[in-house]
Structure 1
Amino acid sequence: MAQGQPVRHHLGGPGTACSLDLLPDRDADTAARWLEKRPDIAVVSRDRGAVYADAARRSAPQAVAVADRWHLLANLGQAVQTILDRHKPTLRAAAQKISSDTATIPRVTETAGDTPPPMTSAERRQWTGWERRRATWKEVVRLGAEGVSARAISRRLGFARETVRKFLHGGEPEVHRPRHSSLAPHLAFLERRWGEGCHNGAQLWRELRAAGFDGSLRVVTEWATRRRLTARPERLASPIAAPSTRRVAMLLTADPSSWTAERCRYLERVFALAPKLATVQELARRFGAMIRQRQADALSVWLDDADTSDLRSFADGLRSDFAAVHAALTTPWSNGQTEGQITRLKLVKRSMYGRANPDLLRIRLMAA
């Protein structure tokens, strides 16, 4: 926002607040001048940006600085993503290894008892999606058999309750089989023409149309592609694209119990190729638990452990702001109310097509 951020004032406790002012910019000197005029301020809750930290140190030394807990977790995610940016070749290699394993190890379904048929890229994506849904269905059914309620399963796995109920009361998800039934009467003709060297799907379709076939071109071209794949088994498996570093960072900072079987396989491969990332994951999990459960006594130990890992730079930043980070774990203050006021400010500004100057914005924000 060009017009800065609203300044919040608490009335009695962390749960009640109102806006006192709207600063015209995000400059540290502007915030410092505003704070100098209010020596009665006792608590400054802030993100870990240098601007407001510097302003509070200069002009409100009597106030207790409190780092916002949400921003601490967001900073952790950014630090992990920065580390993963240096390991992009590892992320790609892990995905390629899983792709090669998929191509060389036959996958057998428990119900149908058959191996995957030759597939086009689109069909393989459908098959992979079916395997993912089937793994989720199996986990939901397992938890249901253990007596876990649908509500608890929904919370644990992160799925909608209706999806969980559908899995509990329905059967195994069906895989989308390739369409080829309309070609059954013409397969002998297609095989003969293929053996004669005609591998063009459009040409085969035109010859079939002349012989009375009333199906679409797509059905024939899919058959031709599948036939070509059968002749070249090395092309059966499409390469698995490596997930983005942002998505992998989200996985590493999340609770491992929320990982699907597919994600577990991928991360196990990543950790095998880069063991240091397993340490990063363990430290990230501990940090998240420490922030959410307000474990102030664990902060110093965590910082010492992080000093020997790739998270050392993140730990150094926390150590330089130790008092505010420690206060985040021992006090109830946060930026929650301020973030709500910022959202409201954005709505007001956009309702005026973004053309409001600071004075008008201040009037509209304060008058309400």
Structure 2
Amino acid sequence: MAGTTGSAAAPYLAAARFSVAPMMDWTDTHCRTFHRILTRRALLYTEMVTTGAIIHGPRARLLAHDASEHPVALQLGGSDPAELAEAVRIAEDFGYDEINLNCGCPSDRVQNGRFGACLMREPELVGRCVAAMKRVTALPVTVKCRIGVDDQEPEAALSALVDAVVASGVDGVIVHARKAWLKGLSPKENRDVPPLDYPLVHALKRRRPGLFVAINGGVADNDAAAEHLAHLDGVMLGRAAYHTPELLLDVDARFFGAERPVADAFAAVELFLPYMERKLREGVRLRDMTRHLLGLFTGQGGARAWRRHLATEAVKAGAGIDVVRDALAKVSRHPDLGRAA
């Protein structure tokens, strides 16, 4: 696989062949712990955490993660090189496997903080940010970006950003292959409305064969991921992996040449139960964990009953692990039955 060299970057390059995207309000530690049951090899990402929150906020709560999550990458939001360097120093003690800089989020809150997708307009600043982060850590430092924002010409915008971060020693780039329209589209619309330009990302890899390049955006399943891996070093799935998590069951065998970690979703839920029991004793609400399981069993008899039971019962005060067992009993173990359920 093409990419950067060095002892810190090597494990990152291996795991990043297939990754699950950082998604605000979705990829929390409970989600990542469950996804790790489904795939032992894929790289998992945290939700974006801002530099200010790490430096001044409850860093132990924000950065804590389960030991089972590795390999796991931390995504940072920020644009001040000194603050990013300080956040990296702090985060490194929590044992992450990679640090990623967010240059792709289009939300108003992120724009107001002068980070996320609006940084596509300031490639030199992004380069300084990467250089500052690299100076304080031996961990791989990567950038997740768009192909441009608003009226930028995508090829020129992407090239300018990549050129700047490569000059600063970046270990890899993950490109969401859409523009972000910061004026006129909501964050949700920015995930669907701007057209995808996969060939532009493939061309970037041809232009920079020594750079680790991964693609994100609209990758619907493992077949689509395999098509991109014929051209690129890595592929990142977001909503598809979250809403249909069972596709992760095939990732280790298909993309890493390893054994399937568990037989099926039933077995995965059973393995997740001890974690949920432990977290319940620590005061975590059941619904904060079961919300990440709602996409399971799509197409199987009882899938709708599974979702309904978790959605209505897990939110109740004092809800315990029996709610999950009762929901599991409603699902047919014969996937050919009840396709409409």
Where on the TM-score scale, by shorter chain, does this alignment land: which range? under 0.3
Higher helix fraction: Structure 1 or Structure 2? 1
User: Looking at both structures, which has the greater relative contact order when contacts are Cα pairs under 8 Å and sequence separation is at least 6?
Assistant: 1
TM-score (norm 1): 0.20
TM-score (norm 2): 0.21
Higher strand fraction: Structure 1 or Structure 2? 2
